[in-house]
Amino acid sequence: MSPSAAVRIVTYLFAEESPPAAQFTGGHGPGWYPSPQQPGQMQWWNGAQWTPSFAPQQSE
């Protein structure tokens, strides 16, 4: 992974909003991420695509 790709990943993980779905492809491990489809919700990314699973986004 290039250093610039790593910076983008870290930026997205700590950003308030999700990366556009078109940019959210390979290189992101499975996990809960801010949903690009439902503002204020987290959505499960299975490592290849978004799933229909949602959870409320926790405020810090």
pLDDT tens per residue across span 30-54: 999 999 989 999 999 998 899 999 9
Mean pLDDT for 1-9 is: 50
Give the model's pLDDT for residue 58.
84
Split into its structural domains, the chain has a count of: 1
Give the model's pLDDT for residue 10.
46
User: Percent helix, strand and coil across the chain, each rounded to 5?
Assistant: 20, 25, 55
Beta carbons within 10 angstroms of residue 45's beta carbon: 22
Share the mean pLDDT of the chain: 73
Model confidence at 7, in pLDDT bands (50, 70, 90)?
A: very low
Are the C-beta atoms of 55 and 47 separated by less than 8 Å?
Answer: no
Q: H or E stretch including 52?
A: strand 50-56
Q: Which domain holds residue 38?
A: 3-19+28-56
Q: Is 70 exceeded by the pLDDT of residue 13?
A: no
